[in-house]
Structure 1
Amino acid sequence: MVGELMAEADSVDADHDAEDAARRCADRKHLAMPVTDKEHRVVGIFTVDDALDIIERAENEDAARHGGAEPLNRPYLSTPVLTIMKSRIVWLLVLAVGATLTVSVLDAFEDQLEAVVALALFVPLLIGTGGNVGNQAATTVTRALALGDVRTRDAIKVLWREVRVGLTLGSSLGVLALVITGGVYGWDIGLVIGLTMLVVCTMAASAGGLMPLLGKSIGADPAVFANPFIATFVDAAGLIVYFLIAMTVLGI
């Protein structure tokens, strides 16, 4: 009987998020899906071609915003130079304002830098490492959000996982920094660098994992909360941690 062969159609609501619907269509390998209204009446059809176009557009946006720019939405070589500049200038201004936090931190700890000049040598290393760790975590979680592997309700799970990842990375890099730096600049400086590396990596991984979830929870694009803002946050917070550890260990 036909009734025995019938099954509930895998449909998508008309007011559902387009990217989520596209990934659902692609993941389940449908050639097309019916689109229904709130009363489950068919109002249209969603094809795999539509899904692939939406996914490609979304991934282009994520890739651009991870690098601190807006998507061009047209071939690069045919895009006017002024348009490319406009796609980047806003983010650069935002990051420049954020970078003033780093300058303020350095100014606040000027006396400590004068007391132990060697501390200034490791500032680029520490903030660079922290920014990279945060970016890695943010990119991973943003991708997981896009694929539906992670939801905003998984924030605690993501935080606990990234804390462990950060601790592991920080321990490995911290021991290496302690040995190398201690052998050249003295073991007290080596201890400062090693401990800072441990704390900064843990902090950066945690922030990198949570910020995309925060963006998703307030209805913003998770990619916007990813790399550019994480780098700015980790730079300022990492320097504060660095100088506090140096003051404690070196007694300055």
Structure 2
Amino acid sequence: MRARIDGPETVYLLPVVGPGRVLLGVISLRNLIAAEPSTPLSEMVRESITTHALTNRETASREFLSHRLIAMPVVDEEERLVGILTMDDVLDIVDEEDAEDIARSSGSEPLDRSYLSSTIFRLVKSRIVWLLVLAVSAILTVQVLEVYEDRLDKVVILALFIPLLTGTGGNTGNQAATTVTRALAVGEVRIRDLGKVIWRELRVGALLGAVLGLLGFVVAGLVYGVAIGLVIGLTLLSVCIMAATVGGLMPIIAKRVGADPAVFSNPFISTFCDATGLIIYFSIATAVLGLS
């Protein structure tokens, strides 16, 4: 160790290999120093949590942090040591991945340099693609409004609540998506937990919708009448249930198909909830107000 002290990335956790560089385990520097000089290494070796060389770097880093490690050996398919993952590596990776997730969740691509040193063209390029995608997908909302245009002509008051309902749906969906995306990243939720997530978000959405729906019913009912209040209350309840469920579902689907869960959060969920929320809204209004 003294002869090669300048070579290794870290000396706090030492990998022990056998013939063919097959990893046998690790020894901590503390135990090595504290042991009697005559103690064989084989008596100090302990099993180590490892990661595969082809494992996604964010996945490996999140696992590293979840186990509170100071270093993690990297092995190939034959369990041969090929390197070691250190805390410095993990912090750099997590920082880059979090910056990328934050950027994509807000509908833009991450910058490869600082904001002030990026050119105007680079800033525009990082945002324009997502804006075009969202503009095209927003056509769905326009088409829904066109379908229910006759209902709006009959009860103009319904148009006043559209921003409230679409905003509530988008915010509810984004809250659920952000929570589940984070849980996926740190390993608290896995793809096999899809049913549990749906059931949990369904109940969360129902409780949120009940509170907001009751408030909407009271306020809208006092100002515009009981019928309008009932429409708003029922719509808020339904939209919250739908948005929370979809928001919790999409990141897991993204993970399953190999996509970045952050991409499926804010931009797409907002658009989906806008269009679906309007369909729910006008369907409830048609039934409650007797429109046709």
TM-score range, shorter chain: over 0.9
Matches within 5 A, 1:73-222: 73-222=112-261
Alpha-carbon distance, 1:13 to partner: 1.1
Alpha-carbon distance, 1:21 to partner: 1.1
Q: Per-residue displacement from partner, 1:178-228 (whole Å, max 9, x unpaired)?
A: 000000000000000000000000000000000001110000000011110
- Is 1:67 aligned to 2:101, yes or no? no
Query: Counterpart in 1 of 2:55?
Result: 16
TM-score (norm 1): 0.98
User: Aligned partners of 1:205 and 1:229: how far apart in 2?
Assistant: 14
Alpha-carbon distance, 1:25 to partner: 2.0
User: Aligned partners of 2:43 and 2:56: how far apart in 1?
Assistant: 33
Alpha-carbon distance, 1:31 to partner: 2.5
Q: Which has the larger radius of gyration?
A: 2
Q: Of 56, 76, 87, which aligns to 1:37?
A: 76
Alpha-carbon distance, 1:6 to partner: 2.3
Relative contact order, CA 8 A, sep 6+: which one is greater? 1
User: Aligned partners of 2:132 and 2:196: how far apart in 1?
Assistant: 34
Stretches of structure 2 lacking an aligned partner (at least 5 in a row): 1-38
Q: Percent of aligned pairs with the same residue?
A: 60
Pick the structure with more helix per residue. Answer: 1
User: Aligned partners of 2:89 and 2:167: how far apart in 1?
Assistant: 40
- Is 1:5 aligned to 2:32, yes or no? no
Number of positions where the alignment pairs a residue of Structure 1 with one of Structure 2: 252
Query: Counterpart in 2 of 1:54?
Result: 93
Alpha-carbon distance, 1:5 to partner: 3.0
Alpha-carbon distance, 1:149 to partner: 0.6
Task: Return 38-47 or 221-230, whichever deviates more.
Answer: 38-47
Letter in 2 for 1:221: D
TM-score (norm 2): 0.84
User: Aligned partners of 1:44 and 1:154: how far apart in 2?
Assistant: 33
Task: Return 27-36 or 11-20, whichever deviates more.
Answer: 27-36
- Is 1:236 aligned to 2:275, yes or no? yes
Whether the aligned pair in 2 keeps the contact of 1:26 and 1:52 (CA below 8 Å) is no
Q: Of 264, 279, 285, which aligns to 1:225?
A: 264
Alpha-carbon distance, 1:30 to partner: 2.5
Whether the aligned pair in 2 keeps the contact of 1:135 and 1:227 (CA below 8 Å) is yes
Stretches of structure 1 lacking an aligned partner (at least 5 in a row): none
